Amino acid sequence: MGELGLNFEVYRNDELTIEDVKRKNPRGILISPGPGEPQDSGISLQTVLELGPTIPIFGVCMGLQCIGEAFGGKIIRAPSGVMHGKSSPVRYDEELGKALFNGLPNPFTAARYHSLVIEQETFPHDALEATAWTEDGLIMAARHKKYRHIQGVQFHPESIITPEGKRIILNFVRFIEELEKQRAGEKN
C-alpha cells in the first residue's frame, strides 16, 4: 500500500481494542490474510460487525472469511484443496463488482493462498452478495447488501501473481473517497 502512495497504519488483530480503533477514526480498514480461521483473528469479526456499518472495510483472504462468518456463513476447507501460490481466472459480476473490479479484464488472473472458503450452501445471501467466482464456482469476492462499503476478496491483490492487484486496491480507495463525498453532501 505504501508503494501506491497511501498513508496507513498496521496493527496485529489482537493489538488493539475496538475502542482503540474508533479513537483512531480511520477512513477505512483492511482486514488482512491469516494465518488461521476467523474465530482466531483477534478483533477482526468484531470489527466487521461493530465498525462495518459506518467505516469501509476491505477484507483480503481471511478478511473475506471474517466478513462471511460475521454475517452467518460457515468457513470450510476448500473443496479444491490447498491453493497456496496458485493462480486462477476469476470472473466478476460487472454491476455488483464494479467498485473493486472497475477497469479489469473479465476474467482476470488472481493469486490464491488459501485452504479455507465461505461454504456456498451457508453463504449468507440475506446479508451478502457474491461479486466474483472461480471457474468452478468458489466465491472469490463479496460485498454487504446494505453496507456496500464492506467488501472482501478471497484472493491476494497484493501478490505479483495478481497482475491487476494494485488497481483493485486503488479502486477500493477511490470507493472510500466517493463515499466520503457522498456523506459530506448529505450533511450539507
| 31 in Cβ contact with 66 (< 8 Å) | yes
Residue in this structure with the C-alpha cell 460487525, named with its chain if needed: 49
Sheet holding 150-153, edge to edge: 29-31, 57-60, 150-153, 139-144, 128-134, 83-92, 108-114
Label residues 147-169 b or e (16+ Cβ within 10 Å = b).
bebbbbbbbbbbeebbebbebbb
Angle subtended by helix axes 62-70 and 44-51, to nearest 10: 60
Q: Indicate which residue of 19, 37, 61, 178 is catalytic.
A: 61
Active site residue 125: no
Is 128 strand, coil or helix?
strand
Q: Which of 119, 129, 156, 180 is catalytic?
A: 156
Helix, strand, or coil (residue 13): coil
Annotation marks residue 61 as catalytic: yes
158 is catalytic: yes
Among residues 69, 114, 144, 158, which one is catalytic? 158
Residues with a known catalytic role? 61, 156, 158
